[in-house]
Structure 1
């Protein structure tokens, strides 16, 4: 059941409306049991403390579990929010701590806080084909990421470089789909700017916006300051193509 979002986030009002509409036709559908959110969201935004507390309240009202996808949780926690992993453990029935996007080869840690969901989880894992013969290798990665706070430092590094790029994008006058709080930047470019950038850097086309194109740049734990600076140079050149000198013939 898709709940309409506001900048990538579910609001209690939207959740209440979706739940009420579902009750009119529930005999023909699966009974909802959980609310599934992402933090940070797919648009780079982050839930505030109040937003999460309000979601927890409405989930209790409707007897729904609150599940958080934390594939980008490190970036969310290092964005300046006033909560931490312990707070999430109090709000969520279950949440994941993402490592694939934050320095590990692959792997997510699932944290199940609701005791009703804990029994027989290992058997469910086996039934779902999610148990690896060498699963302990995933655990070793988390030990390495957390024992010296590398998990937090990696996310902070990605966020800081993204803010450098986003601030330069604003200075150059590019429109933004929205202002990101984490490591994803959504820039609106013209067709001419897109063609210039596409020959120099790799990025993702997010969607078409009238005659323009929304592209997504994502920084990570291994993005370098030099790479971010090069991108800023290319963005400036793409913006000022008419003033660039013509390339010399070989």
Structure 2
């Protein structure tokens, strides 16, 4: 579905930013609230229909505003898609940071906290998670990918690269301590695990009856490179 574009002289003037109160007086809408409604509407649309199945008219209508208001906040649907992705990444990083245990915790406990934080985050905002990590904004491992506004990569790939840095750093630290197999490349391992984890979570969010929550968590813990590589080193 093609993106509807209007020229600057077609966009409604400032008077259209106002709504009428009960007394008939013009009431200015809060720009931050309007932007939030647009991002929320876009999230639901992208999650349900994929990136190519959405246009700015639909997002504006779902948010209860005119298309001119949409263009005051975002240049096009790619920009609002980027806003959804960046907000999701920031929120996920905050969640993971809050879940971290005090220094000295075992590797097993650290990995469990990390996995439980990510799974819980995905459960709380499934549509947003799928848009950020589900390929073209829809869940499923076989979903068709589209070009992303982030670094020119397909949606999901740039997000994986952005979200693997902390994992790669931690794996490098554990390797330096002699905990992990020295053959492990921290960057490769982090990218492989995070990409797999996000894809599997999107698949699971489509239909949570495919596996229990406990099975998801325990399996991801076993597959985490900090656990798998440590076990490999022992054996």
Name the structure with the higher strand share. Answer: 1
Q: TM-score, normalised by structure 2?
A: 0.30
Q: TM-score, normalised by structure 1?
A: 0.29
